[in-house]
Amino acid sequence: MELRDDLIVLRPWREDDADAVHAACQDAKIRRWIPIIPRPYTHDDARTFVTGRHGPGGHQLAIEREGVSPGRSG
């Protein structure tokens, strides 16, 4: 499933998003407000998340803004 408008795209996670997820989960504020995140949060944890092997759950979608994937500048 993909949802889009002129500014953003909501899309399923891709394996190439793992580095951005890993970097985001190093932020102390993320760890504080989402306490179920493993500590330390490893690259393997990020790959597991973006590939959907993190267990049952709802719809987790990545957000791209103006063609820029999560955690990437440009």
Number of domains in the chain: 1
- Confirm whether 15 is domain-assigned: yes
pLDDT (tens, 9 = 90+) of the chain, 74 residues, equals 788 888 899 998 999 999 999 999 999 999 899 988 999 999 999 999 998 876 555 567 888 887 656 655 44
Mention every residue, 6+ apart, whose C-beta is less than 8 A from residue 6. Answer: none
- Confirm whether 11 is domain-assigned: yes
- What's the domain range around 12? 3-65
Q: Calculate the CA 74 to chain-centre distance.
A: 18
- Confirm whether 45 is domain-assigned: yes
Kindly report whether the global pTM for this prediction surpasses the value 0.75: no
